[in-house]
Amino acid sequence: MIALIDGYDTAMFDLDGVVYLGPVAIPGAVEGMAALRERGVRACYVTNNAARPVETVAEHLSELGFPATVDDVVTSAQAAVALMREELPAGTRVLVAGTRNLVDMVAEAGFTVVDSAEDAPGAVVQGYDPVMTWPRLDQAAYAVQDGARWYACNTDSTRPTTRGLVPGAGVAVYAVQVTTRTEPIVTGKPFRPLMAEALRRSGARRALLVGDRLDPDIAGANTVGIESCLVFTGVHGKHDLCAAEPAQRPTHIAWDLPALTGPARVAVAGADGVRCGDALASAPGGVARVEGDLSTVEGQLDALWALAQLVWAGGVSDYEQALGELNSVH
């Protein structure tokens, strides 16, 4: 059997919703990662979370059963600081709207960290902070309006937890954006800086990005021209997949991380519709329907992949009923 992961030397993983949910590993992920290591696939963890030091992230991964070092973790904060070093003179005053980790990284990069727009910062860098205050956002907005160059580590609107979705860093970024009518320079996925930094640090020759969101994960892979796999253990699901714009469409889909060592799904278009495994998706009169063994998750994923290809090709006016038959997939 040829596995989905075969042919890739590096697997790049988003964290929340793919590897873990907060303090808990996603079921099967530890075993799945071990199977990848046995095949000689390097794991690189690529996260938009700028709140924690890479040492803390690596330690957390290791505690959960994913052996990791700081060299295996790439964050949007690292990408932001790397870009700032390219674009700003050493010693530039920078106002940081983020955690202590981001403050320390900016200072260690040779910039002068300031706390107020009254200090005339030349740049603002903003990242996720669970205790972000309105006064801190006020200072960021003042500085941006005064002409400071504005970097945002990521613009994720939500963040998955074991209790459900909560507001992400993008909510705070949006507050500054609508106030200043200014667009930030975003370094996290789906934008190029983080993905380019991950490719550089990992030394990947042929990488696969594994994520639970079309945007930013899958879109981030497409930005730098690498292949991707959407898994269904996090945020996005079947409705999002079928409605995906071209820039957000994955190369593969799989139920979870362990499925990377299973066979890849292949969809083939024919006169009667699109087939994947034993499943067939067709759209007589523009209304989609799916056929095949839908009693298992794998069978439903085959049908979903066939349906997605059919919808993306155009000519399908209604596919909601077909999606409703895939009731094991969120």
- Which stretch of DSSP H or E encloses residue 270? strand 267-270
CA distance 168 to 47: 13
Residue 220: inside a domain: yes
- Judging by beta carbons within 10 Å of its beta carbon (0-12, 13-18, 19+), is residue 178 exposed, middle or buried? exposed
Omega prior to 190 cis, within 30 of 0: yes
Residue 68: inside a domain: no
Domain boundary among the residues 224, 239, 261 is at 261
**Sheet (strand 279-282) strand order:** 267-270, 273-276, 279-282, 289-291
Q: What is the mean pLDDT of residues 155-165?
A: 85
Q: Which sign does the torsion angle of CA 16, 249, 153, 124 carry?
A: negative
pLDDT of residue 139: 98
Q: What is the pTM of this model?
A: 0.93
Residue 31: inside a domain: yes
CA distance 257 to 231: 7
Confidence of residue 163 (pLDDT cuts 50, 70, 90): confident
pLDDT higher than threshold 90 for residue 314: yes
Residue pointed to by tokens 């309006």: 145
> ∠ at Cα 24 (23, 28), nearest 5°?
155
Comparing 131-140, 150-159, 202-211, which segment has the lowest mean pLDDT? 150-159
What is the Cβ-side half-sphere exposure of residue 283, based on CA atoms within 13 angstroms? 21
pLDDT of residue 160: 77
pLDDT of residue 233: 95
pLDDT higher than threshold 90 for residue 93: yes
Omega prior to 216 cis, within 30 of 0: yes
Confidence of residue 50 (pLDDT cuts 50, 70, 90): confident
What's the whole-number average pLDDT of the chain?
Answer: 96
Residue 137: inside a domain: yes
Does 132 lie in the same domain as 97? yes
Active site residues: 14, 16
- DSSP code string of 102-144: HHHHHHHTT-EEES-GGG--SEEEE---TT--HHHHHHHHHHH
Contact 78, 105 (CB under 8 A): yes
Structure tokens given for 326:
């895939």
List C-alpha distances in Å: 48 to 186, 238, 251. Answer: 10, 23, 21
pLDDT of residue 161: 80
Confidence of residue 123 (pLDDT cuts 50, 70, 90): very high
Residue 92: inside a domain: yes
- Which stretch of DSSP H or E encloses residue 197? helix 192-202
Residue 247: inside a domain: yes
pLDDT of residue 116: 97
CA distance 319 to 311: 8
Domain boundary among the residues 261, 284, 308 is at 261
pLDDT higher than threshold 80 for residue 26: yes
pLDDT of residue 159: 83
pLDDT of residue 136: 97
Q: How many domains does the chain have?
A: 3
CA 200 to chain centre: 18
The boundaries of the domain holding residue 213 are 10-48+191-261
Does 118 lie in the same domain as 88? yes
